[in-house]
Structure 1
Amino acid sequence: MFTTIAGLTGVAITLALILIVTSSMEVIRRSYFEVFWYTHHLFIIFFIGLVFHGYGRIVRGQTLLSLESNNPKVCANLFHDWGKNESGCAVPVFAGNPPGTWKWVVGPMILYLCERMVRIYRSHQKVVITKVTAPSLYSTRLTLTLYLTLSLPPQVVMHPSKTLELQMKKKGFSMEVGQYVFIQCPSVSRLEWHPFTLTSAPEEDYFSAHIRIVGDWTQALYEACGGDKPEQQEAWKLPKMAIDGPFGTASEDVFRYDVVMLVGAGIGVTPFASILKSVWYKHIQNNQDVFTKKIYFYWLCPETQAFEWFADLLQSLERQMADKDMADFLSYNIYLTRWKETEVPDRAEHYDRPLAPRPAVKAFCLLWNQAAHFRVHHEAENDPITGLKQKTLYGKPNWDNEFTNIAAKHPKSKVGVFLCGPPQLGKSLEKQCLSHSEADVKFIFNKENF
């Protein structure tokens, strides 16, 4: 096996494919993205081995010259007489076929090399960080002035959530709602490019991304931006960034529908930040290309800290749309799907043993929390968690009721359902779209997994 070209290349191809497939598992991609990223570059070995594998000429066929003296149709049943003059069938001669895999590989490889060249060119284009908002271990707010040709000095603001926001500018950069870019930080890694959804609107003079700190690379980026330091970060210490993109997603079609349902889970809310901001800009500019008349927005969040950065946007939209008499244009519901142990009601903590299975106890405590929350804050004008007029809900939406109500309110409409969230939620929403689509109302499902 290891003494022939076919044997060596076959083993190399098999090992490369095994590593690529195993590192593609979701648990690897989410928890060890670097392993996923680097092992997938073994495709180079895979294709090189695939091209040279044929040079071993293991697969053999009858030569053209031999076919003239031994026609398989005539001589197949006369194999006992092969080589005898009276049979007219010479002994067939076989030879390995010349390798032809390169014909199928060279085209895709040329396209790949062109894409790499475009990425290299884009990576050398200057990217200016105009603002960084990052989580911090410290309760201070830091403001830095960068030496840039901007009307206002950009800032680095530290707050306690687990989301890093980068606002950047790049010459000639153009985007649409819901698109994403690949970001590289050379001071962290010169080889790694990570995809992040853009949270800015096309109408804004910058582009931004919100990055959840969950792995080694995002942690290193957070530290490179000075998030782990209590002292003021100097402008020259901010890392250089490289941007490739933007690239399209299903969210770009959002303005093609009269009615839109936006469903985001956790950090999956990021593409909808771009959409909601763009909707606002288009309406104040009286853009006639927007057909959307109503937006239903649902955000499912596991913890209150995650509300921090996006609630500011919703508060701004809430005020501005009220001023423009557009309060009915956007309906939103925010769901807190999890809670800390310290948030469990006091009375539930005194039980020595569970009175029901644990999920039932949690459901009871969740309802208790919601009732207590409404009892204390029902007269407050704004929700104490988000600062919005719409109160925060506990638990998860009843999707059957939500789809039924929307279908009743908007007959003879096509409703675009856009999801950025886990696959399990996607399956549930897709099922609801199919079950509630009728002759007079259609629910069109679009998803973007994260």
Structure 2
Amino acid sequence: MISAKTFQPVVEDQLTAARAYFLCIIGMLFCESLIRLPSYFMTYKKARSSVSPAKHWKPYVLLHKIITLPPLLSFITRHRLPSLFRLFVFVFLNFLWGWNRLLYSTDYKLYGWLTIANAGLGLLLAARTNLFSIVLRIPTPILLNYHRWIGRATFAHATLHLSLTIQQFVRTDQFAAVVVNARIRVGIVAWVALAIVYITSLSFIRRRWFEVFYYAHFLFLVFIAGALYHASKGPEFLLPGLGLWAIDRVIRFAHRFRKIVVKSVTYYPRDLTKFKFEGVQAAYPGQMAWIQVPSISYLNWHPFSIASAPGDSEGTIAIRGLGNYSKKAQLLAETRKCEDRMDSETGGQEVVVGSMPMVEASAVRMVLDGPYGIGRLQWDRYRTIVIVAGGIGITPGISIASYIVNRAAASTTTTTTTTTTGMGFEWHIHLLWVIKEKKHSQWFADELKKLASLAANPSMPVTMDVTIHVTGGGNSSEQTTTAIGQEEFALDNTVEKYDGPGIVHHHRPNLSEWFRCVKDGSKDTDIAVSLCGPKAMMNDARKAAAKASVESGVFHVEEEEFEL
């Protein structure tokens, strides 16, 4: 027979256990920071000398390959091994500090305290202007994972606390008498608000009804108010995060009054609208921003990746017509009367066509909150940058390529490249873009032409190779050569004439062979990789990057997966 002593809690005092759990999670976040923060304090010269030339031990390469691979059980979880390790530690800490004997009704309070502790942690990560990201340099996707896990743990502990307590009251015939207590009623209301937040944050609701997810999340204020009233010592967990969130809201409110001048709104074939604007610049490549266009809705804000980079005179956001909000954006730049003309004759017009045709771009008002986001890689520290994108996933790739080209252009203003880059090396950009139809290549043709033209300048310490694969449509066997010379990366002769940099292929890419070619041309150096696109394509790219990683250089992969 199992005795009650078998289930003794780690710490008898429940509040102390909640505090210990809170500090353990904060410790996990600081460990995340220690992995990356030191490189930001190193000078550019020292930082770059650490990545080139590269010579790694075989055990390190083997471990790197395992970490780079996609999820081994993708049909069960989308998390890779590093993320699964974090999740295991997080779940273990919840079980460790939640281990309890459950003999008396007072034992149930432990789960109430763990609810409060998790809620406080969730608040610390809720702000868009996040100190863990800005100060500790923890990448945004990692913080987003922690926020989700903490939210689910909050709901799990709250539900356990509520159900065990109600069960006890019902069993002892005290429920009717106890529920009269205002503190109990407020606690139940707080749980209902938390349940709504949790249910509406599930992926099948979040993806289909984004507005429901977005506005239901504000019920967390009801939960926090109820928790502060229900628990006497809740403020020590909740108020720090609530204060940072309030400051963040003030900053975001101030963003509404920034002057954003829309320079052009361009419609491209197959439902893509590109906004070019002035007034805000990205701080880092691959950031995102929340956009409100009053012409579409005064209430709805939606996040979009920024295609422009630090140093660009104009910002660029591309909106693909996939959801209700993004489809409404198309109406700003086209009407069904002129769609066929634009598609066949012009391939895109720098006009805004709403309910009345030919509205000036300056008439479109845009409110932008951001940019936000910190990536895992410092792109300019690597001599070779690989960008693999699918469809509209090219957006962060354009930002990264623009950032590198801008850095290279800045180096030409000094007497020597070494002065600016810290190493005197050239950057090499290899961009692979997979699209469904050839017409999709028009989406960022202007940006690619500009980047390729700058990279073709002999005085610029950067080269750029572009490969485009069209997976749908017809085939053509007519081959063309390009000014930037990319024949070495053409894996067969099935190409098509294309008015832009690089070569267009009519087939799916052999990513394994392509990564091997890139590695053969980049001896003794580590390579930075940006992935954004369909999950299957990114998984194949991860496998190819892992396979091509060797002692003389490994592929460091950053995956841009659009998740909220």
TM-score by length of 2: 0.55
8 A contact 1:199–1:270 mirrored in 2: yes
Q: Which residue of 2 aligns with 1:264?
A: 389
CA distance in 2, matches of 1:425, 1:128: 36
Structure 2 CA distance for partners of 1:6 and 1:300, relative to 1, 3 Å: farther
8 A contact 2:282–2:306 mirrored in 1: no
Q: Which residue of 2 aligns with 1:231?
A: 357
Q: Which residue of 2 aligns with 1:160?
A: 269
8 A contact 1:249–1:448 mirrored in 2: no
Q: Which residue of 2 aligns with 1:392?
A: 504
Q: Which residue of 1 aligns with 2:515?
A: 403
CA distance in 2, matches of 1:397, 1:235: 38
> Relative to structure 2, which stretch is displaced further, 123-132 or 326-335?
326-335
Q: Which residue of 2 aligns with 1:419?
A: 531
Q: Which residue of 2 aligns with 1:378?
A: 479
Write out aligned runs for 1:174-323 (5 A).
Answer: 175-224=283-332, 226-229=352-355, 231-234=357-360, 238-250=363-375, 253-287=378-412, 288=417, 289-290=420-421, 293-322=427-456
The reply to whether residue 109 of structure 1 matches residue 242 of structure 2 is yes
The reply to whether residue 46 of structure 1 matches residue 214 of structure 2 is no
The reply to whether residue 129 of structure 1 matches residue 237 of structure 2 is no
8 A contact 1:178–1:252 mirrored in 2: no
> Relative to structure 2, which stretch is displaced further, 241-250 or 110-119?
241-250
Structure 2 CA distance for partners of 1:130 and 1:381, relative to 1, 3 Å: closer
8 A contact 1:123–1:242 mirrored in 2: yes
8 A contact 1:295–1:330 mirrored in 2: yes
Structure 1 residue 417, shift from structure 2 partner: 1.1
The reply to whether residue 169 of structure 1 matches residue 302 of structure 2 is no
Structure 1 residue 327, shift from structure 2 partner: 11
> Relative to structure 2, which stretch is displaced further, 181-190 or 256-265?
181-190
8 A contact 1:335–1:393 mirrored in 2: yes
Q: Tell me the SS of whatever aligns to 1:250.
A: coil
Task: Determine which structure has the larger strand proportion and give its number.
Answer: 1
Q: Tell me the SS of whatever aligns to 1:278.
A: helix
Q: Deviations over 1:17-74 (max 9, x none)?
A: 33333333334333322122112222112222222233xxxxxxxxxxxxxxxxxxxx
Taking only the aligned residue pairs, the percentage that are identical comes to 25
- Which amino acid in the other structure matches residue 331 of structure 2? E
Give 5+ residue unaligned stretches, structure 2: 1-174, 334-351, 484-494
Q: Which residue of 2 aligns with 1:349?
A: none
Q: Deviations over 1:211-250 (max 9, x none)?
A: 11222222334435643446221567x2322122222332
CA distance in 2, matches of 1:249, 1:233: 36
Q: Which residue of 2 aligns with 1:153?
A: none
Structure 1 residue 201, shift from structure 2 partner: 3.4
Structure 1 residue 407, shift from structure 2 partner: 2.7
- Which amino acid in the other structure matches residue 192 of structure 2? L
Higher relative contact order (CA 8 A, sep 6+): 2
CA distance in 2, matches of 1:126, 1:284: 28
Q: Deviations over 1:364-410 (max 9, x none)?
A: xxxxx54xx11xx2368797574236332234322222232333332
Q: Which residue of 1 aligns with 2:545?
A: 433
Structure 2 CA distance for partners of 1:422 and 1:323, relative to 1, 3 Å: same
> Relative to structure 2, which stretch is displaced further, 18-27 or 254-263?
18-27
CA distance in 2, matches of 1:126, 1:390: 37
Number of residue pairs the alignment of both structures matches: 347
Larger radius of gyration: 1
8 A contact 1:257–1:292 mirrored in 2: no
The one of 18, 24, 38 equivalent to 2:195 is: 18
Structure 2 CA distance for partners of 1:381 and 1:169, relative to 1, 3 Å: closer
> Relative to structure 2, which stretch is displaced further, 188-197 or 122-131?
188-197
Q: Tell me the SS of whatever aligns to 1:449.
A: coil
Structure 2 CA distance for partners of 1:385 and 1:105, relative to 1, 3 Å: farther
Q: Tell me the SS of whatever aligns to 2:353.
A: coil
- Which amino acid in the other structure matches residue 269 of structure 2? P
CA distance in 2, matches of 1:319, 1:306: 21
Structure 1 residue 116, shift from structure 2 partner: 0.3
8 A contact 1:259–1:416 mirrored in 2: yes
- Which amino acid in the other structure matches residue 274 of structure 1? S
Structure 2 CA distance for partners of 1:108 and 1:410, relative to 1, 3 Å: same
- Which amino acid in the other structure matches residue 308 of structure 1? Q
Structure 2 CA distance for partners of 1:393 and 1:235, relative to 1, 3 Å: closer
- Which amino acid in the other structure matches residue 197 of structure 1? S
- Which amino acid in the other structure matches residue 203 of structure 2? E
CA distance in 2, matches of 1:292, 1:260: 11
Structure 1 residue 436, shift from structure 2 partner: 3.3
Structure 1 residue 320, shift from structure 2 partner: 4.4
Structure 1 residue 269, shift from structure 2 partner: 0.6
CA distance in 2, matches of 1:412, 1:44: 53
Give 5+ residue unaligned stretches, structure 1: 55-98, 135-158, 344-368
Q: Tell me the SS of whatever aligns to 2:205.
A: helix
- Which amino acid in the other structure matches residue 193 of structure 1? W
- Which amino acid in the other structure matches residue 13 of structure 1? A
- Which amino acid in the other structure matches residue 331 of structure 1? D
8 A contact 1:311–1:386 mirrored in 2: no
Q: Deviations over 1:59-100 (max 9, x none)?
A: xxxxxxxxxxxxxxxxxxxxxxxxxxxxxxxxxxxxxxxx11
Q: Which residue of 1 aligns with 2:561?
A: 449
Structure 2 CA distance for partners of 1:437 and 1:381, relative to 1, 3 Å: closer
Q: Tell me the SS of whatever aligns to 2:331.
A: helix
Structure 2 CA distance for partners of 1:53 and 1:435, relative to 1, 3 Å: farther
8 A contact 1:265–1:422 mirrored in 2: yes
CA RMSD in angstroms, aligned pairs only: 3.0
Structure 2 CA distance for partners of 1:389 and 1:244, relative to 1, 3 Å: closer
CA distance in 2, matches of 1:176, 1:212: 23
Q: Which residue of 2 aligns with 1:5?
A: 182
Q: Deviations over 1:247-284 (max 9, x none)?
A: 23327621111111111111111122223233334334
Structure 1 residue 416, shift from structure 2 partner: 0.7
CA distance in 2, matches of 1:440, 1:279: 23
